[in-house]
Amino acid sequence: MAETLGTLCDKLTIVKLKQYHTEDKIRLLSLEQQCNQLTDEIEEFISDALSGLIPLKKLTFKSNKVFKQEGNEIKIIRGSIGNIFCTLAEVNCSLWHEQEKVYDFENVPILQKDIVVKQLAILNLERTKCIDEIDNNLIELLHNKKIK
């Protein structure tokens, strides 16, 4: 998958979740290195985008999700890059906890199983929407910068 600002932000939120959920010192050191590397990559990506080193058409990699929209409505994702990044972190946190239920799926009550699976699907759609919107916002900011 091509890296975009949205995908880099997504990876960073996941690394932060892993840091929060572990106490293993060796794993924490590795995760800190990943966090630093991703932070550097985000800074470099934005700098390259601002300087025109990355063409506008390469700033996004649309997820092009194909799904039945009726019954799979997701909340509207809007706002600044920072706001959407925050929403992405919240969605990934919810997704983390929902996925934990799947790891112990045999103990999920029968009447709750469909709800868990549906929630995973909705959260994944929201996650990809956040990634796409971060990318769209960056393109819009750069496009507006070029017009001025």
Q: What's the pLDDT at 67?
A: 63
SS3 sequence of 24-40: CHHHHHHHHHHHHHHHH
Q: Which of 14-28, 54-68, 109-123 has the highest mean pLDDT?
A: 14-28
- 142: exposed, middle or buried (Cβ count in 10 Å: 0-12, 13-18, 19+): middle
145 band by pLDDT with thresholds 50, 70 and 90: confident
Q: Tell me what percent of the residues of the chain surpass a pLDDT of 90.
A: 78
**Helix (H/G/I), strand (E/B), else coil: 146:** helix
Is residue 120's pLDDT more than 70? Answer: yes
Is residue 1's pLDDT more than 50? Answer: no
* Torsion sign over Cα 16, 18, 22, 26: negative
Q: What's the pLDDT at 144?
A: 84
Q: How far apart are CA 138 and CA 59, in angstroms?
A: 8
Digit-coded pLDDT (tens) for 53-75: 998 888 988 766 666 677 777 88
pTM metric for this prediction: 0.88
Q: Please, which residues have CB within 8 angstroms of residue 32's CB and are 6 or more apart in sequence?
A: 19
Is residue 33's pLDDT more than 80? Answer: yes
